[in-house]
Amino acid sequence: MPDVTKTVAAAGDVVDTPSVAENSTSAQKPEKARSLWGDAWSDLRRNPYFIVSAGLIVVLLSITAFPGLFTSASPTAGDLVHHYIGKPELGSIGSEGWLGYDIQGRSVYARLIYGTRASIIVGVAVTLIVTVVGGIMGMIAGYFGGITDAILSRITDIFFGIPFMLGAMVILQAFTDRTIWVVVFALAFLGWTQITRVMRGAVITVKQADYVHAAKALGAGTTRILFRHILPNAMAPVIVVATIALGGYISAEATLSYLGLGLASPTVSWGVDISAGVQAIRTSQHILLYPSIMVSITVLAFIMLGEAVRNALDPKLR
């Protein structure tokens, strides 16, 4: 039982109040220190850019996973009766024809919904691959240094010197059947260099920390030091760069598909629809307009998310 003293109030009532010893004990109780990630999450929850971008991304991921919840129409089934009809059907928001039809009488709204899947899959898959490959190469180069760093850095410089879009177009030109995973391979083959440079710089900084030297002195192995001590403390800048780059990969996929070197029909993609809409830009602008808006919104959402994460993880900006 805690030690308490009796206090007599003005009205004559007896009130129990904590003793001096209990007050001093509670006052000396230290608050739990928050980590960098805890501070970042606390800052992100109050950031309107993060809230808006995260909301948009959640909606896009929901469309990607469950397109049937947003439309019952088929993105590939067409009816020439609806050939190039661009006038929305009033009072029918959410139906197959409220955004009009394309040259083959297919629902533009249904193609927007199902086209989300191709763009998001390409962006997320390329980002995951380049983050893993580039992160491992940068971690090895930054930690071991010397001849290992020199060799890996020169390889990175060679790939970094290849123009990204031009190189992707040359690679895709060699394939006759350009599926989603072929496009992912072409973009990932040239997109890992920036992650490698960022990870290498972060690892060079982190490996000088006292806790890394202490782990070495205690006999920790190289693998344990890399993945238990260095990697968690070097991931912050990599996450920021990867998040912003994800939007760029979605834009690159749409650009390649527009040029006829990326995804092609019957694959449903925003870039494919933009390419088809250019042919009727004077008479049926809606075919070009809506997929272009979706690409812009998606890229903007990931860029805003990356900027919010960067501001939250950078103590100087906070």
Q: How far apart are CA 269 and CA 32, in angstroms?
A: 49
Residue type, 269: S
The per-residue pLDDT for range 211-242, each reduced to its tens digit, is 888 988 988 888 899 888 898 888 888 998 99
At residue 302, does pLDDT exceed 80?
yes
Q: What is the pLDDT of residues 303-318, one digit of tens each?
A: 999 888 888 877 665 5
Q: Would you call 24 helix, strand, or coil by DSSP?
A: helix
Interacting residues of 163 by C-beta distance below 8 A, sequence separation 6+? none
CA 243 to chain centroid, in Å, comes to 4
Lookup: tokens for 275 = 């390419």
* Under 8 Å between Cβ of 137 and 147: no
Query: Per the domain annotation, does 40 fall within a domain?
Result: no
- For residue 78, being part of any structural domain is answered with no
Q: Angle formed by the axes of helices 286-313 and 36-44, to 10°?
A: 140
Assess if residue 54 is contained within a domain. no
Asked, for residue 17, whether it belongs to a domain, the answer is no
CATH of the domain at 133: 1.10.3720.10
| Residue whose pair of structure tokens reads 């608050």 in the numeric block | 31
Domain limits for position 276 = 115-313
Q: What average pLDDT score do residues 2-20 get?
A: 46
- 263 assigned to some structural domain: yes
Q: Is 250 within the bounds of a domain?
A: yes
pLDDT above 50: residue 15? no
Is 56 part of any domain? no
184 vs 297: CA distance, rounded Å: 21
* Distance, CA of 140 to CA of 136 (rounded, Å): 6
The reply to whether 136 falls in a domain is yes
Q: Most distant CA pair in the chain: distance in Å?
A: 94
Q: How many domains does the chain have?
A: 1
